[in-house]
Amino acid sequence: MPGGDVLVSVRNITTKIGSNIIHENLSLEIRRGDSLSIIGGSGAGKSVLLQAILGLRRPAAGEVIAFGKNIYDASEEELREVCKRWGVLFQSGALFTSQTVSENIKFPMQEYTRLSPTLIDRLALLKLDMAGLQPSAGDKYPSELSGGMKKRAGLARALALDPELLFLDEPTSGLDPITSGKFDNSMLELRRALGLTIVMVTHDFDSLFKVSDKVAVLANKKIAALVPAEKLFEVDIPWVQELSRETRTWRAFEAHMQEKAAAGEIMLDIGGFCRF
């Protein structure tokens, strides 16, 4: 399991929506080289936690330190430097509907760099290719894209500034199994090629077991467990144990373990799988 330096440290945060406490004294570290999935039951606050980390929802207490800066006390210039070092793919893609895909990809480069328009044009084509899109997709508007293409366009924009850290919010939500699988493969290739640190909020366990090395379980308003993906079902939390009895989840886990065994990373009992 990767053990690099800490890129983001969430320290004892409490978040609220109105008077409702979503998280209480929650802490989490994201280390360089991690591929981390954040999971939890409905209403556990996965997206709220992501918003707090990204500076979009100020916690009622605690702090978020990103690349050595407290993002809620940082200056505007310091925040700009932090934002240049991470990319975000929101669940909906969050593309500007009035701009073409290429214009969406160029926007962060125009906002945060002094690169020439010619170089930005070339880089936009490169990001399209990295996200698995043809150059012709750059001329389309978001309304002209399929669901899978929108995800890839959002990914291309998230990669615009060559981030060290990539946040993914339900990246395969709404995609069919084949498109989801292709997206997962793209994430694996990008991680290998670019050395990306990845944090993914997901309820897609095929993606979780394929892409992630570690899993953070949100329960009881905290990170109740942080474990290697293959150890997830050892976690003694009722929601996780119920999850382990769900057939689709177990099949995703089984496929993951078979892949690990085929790669020589683990040993399996001759009789098959045990629920570790």
In a domain, 168, yes or no: yes
Q: List the chain pLDDT tens, one digit each, 276 residues.
A: 445 699 999 999 999 999 999 999 999 999 999 999 999 988 899 999 999 999 999 999 999 999 999 999 999 999 999 999 999 998 776 889 999 999 999 999 999 999 999 999 999 999 999 999 999 999 999 999 998 899 999 999 999 999 999 999 999 888 888 888 888 999 999 999 999 999 999 988 888 989 999 999 999 999 999 999 989 988 999 888 888 787 677 677 676 677 666 666 554 443 343 333
* Within-domain flag for 174: yes
- Spatial CA neighbour of 30 closest among 49, 6, 52, 54: 6
What is the pTM for the complete model shown?
0.88
**Residue 244: inside a domain:** no
Count CB neighbours of 265 within 10 A: 10
In a domain, 65, yes or no: no
Domain interval for residue 90: 32-57+76-230
Q: Is residue 157 situated within a structural domain?
A: yes
Distance CA 82, CA 96 (A): 22
Work out how many domains the chain is built from and give that number.
Answer: 1
Q: What is the CATH classification number for the domain harbouring 102? A: 3.40.50.300
Q: What are the start-end ranges of the H helices in 36-146?
A: 46-53, 76-83, 101-112, 117-130
